[in-house]
């Protein structure tokens, strides 16, 4: 089955840049999406179609894609950005698409 | 404002049945897929399945096929996730979300606890 691979954890100091990667064989052909989940809350979409930012999401959140890896970049990290981040894509190799989530990355702001 | 509101937390015993709900508002409920996502305690997100309320076309993740049933009542803009016989391993938070190719917005989640 199709998998998306993320690092379990990333740590940065306030004001620095955090980069969270997500790898998957189908990513050159499928868009990736990113979600932020804070403790006790539902996930929130922060990036769609690899690099588009929904309205209301701060400009410090950006996304990029290169080959089989997509990256969520948070510039000028703030304490409020501490959360779990999940990538998501779709596996369209079967009759119907299967939506797939990465295992999640815990971002710690030191 | 597009909003999904889920039913409240449930505590059940193994072997019992359960149906939880997700009510959409602020958009055309019949024009978008609704997806269900499981999050077990301390774990990540798992896609379970989706339904198109317009015609009830339903698709399941292979991991959840046969384990749950997804349905919808478009007359009241509500989607459902149900179990016929719960197991302790079904203990989790369950989220619904409006799905295009991405999941947005999400409901607030329904915590299901299965314990004897």
| DSSP codes, B65-97 | TTT-EEEEEGGGTEEEEEESS--GGG-EEEEEE
> Do residues A89 and A31 touch, judged by C-beta distance below 8 A?
yes
Task: Write the pLDDT tens digit of every residue in A38-92.
Answer: 999 999 999 999 999 999 999 999 999 999 999 999 999 999 999 999 999 987 7
Q: How many CB atoms lie within 10 A of CB B84?
A: 12
| CB contact B61 to A (< 8 Å) | yes
Cβ of A33 and B109 within 8 Å?
Answer: no
- At A97 the pLDDT is 75
pLDDT of residue A91: 78
A44 touches chain B (CB under 8 A): yes
| Residues facing residue A99 across a β-bridge | A90
Residues with Cβ within 8 Å of B80's Cβ and at least 6 positions away in sequence, in order, are B19, B20, B21, B22, B69, B70, B71, B72, B73
* Contact criterion met (CB below 8 Å) for A62 and A53: yes
Which whole number is the average pLDDT over A4-30? 96
**Cα B112 to Cα B48: distance, rounded to the nearest angstrom:** 15
Residue contact A88–B102, C-beta within 8 A: yes
How does pLDDT run along chain B (116 residues), one tens digit per residue? 999 999 999 999 999 999 999 999 999 999 999 999 999 999 999 999 999 999 999 999 999 999 999 999 999 999 999 999 999 999 999 999 999 889 999 999 999 999 99
Contact A99 B35 (CB under 8 A): yes
Determine which of A7, A43, A47, A54 to mutate to test the interface with B (most B C-beta atoms within 10 Å). A43
Residue A12 has pLDDT above 90, yes or no: yes
């Amino acid at each position: 089955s199709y998998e998306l691979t993320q690092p379990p954890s990333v740590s940065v100091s306030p004001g620095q840049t955090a980069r969270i990667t997500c790898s998957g064989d189908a990513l050159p052909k499928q868009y990736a999406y990113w979600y932020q989940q804070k403790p006790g809350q539902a996930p929130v979409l922060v990036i769609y179609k690899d690099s588009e930012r929904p309205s209301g999401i701060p400009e410090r959140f950006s996304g990029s894609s290169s080959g089989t890896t997509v990256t969520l970049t948070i510039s000028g990290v703030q304490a409020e950005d501490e959360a779990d981040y999940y990538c998501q894509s779709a596996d369209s190799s079967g009759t119907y698409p299967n939506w797939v989530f990465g295992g999640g990355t815990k971002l710690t702001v030191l | 404002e597009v909003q999904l509101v889920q039913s409240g937390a449930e505590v059940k015993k193994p072997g019992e049945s359960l149906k939880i709900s997700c009510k959409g508002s602020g958009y055309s409920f019949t024009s978008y897929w609704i997806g269900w996502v499981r999050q077990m305690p301390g774990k990540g997100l798992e896609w379970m399945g989706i339904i198109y309320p317009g015609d009830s076309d339903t698709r399941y993740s292979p991991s959840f096929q046969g384990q749950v049933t997804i349905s919808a009542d478009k007359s009241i803009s509500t989607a459902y996730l149900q179990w016929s016989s719960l197991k302790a391993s079904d203990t989790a938070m369950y989220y619904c979300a409006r799905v295009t190719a991405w999941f947005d917005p999400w409901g607030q989640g329904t915590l299901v606890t299965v314990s004897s």
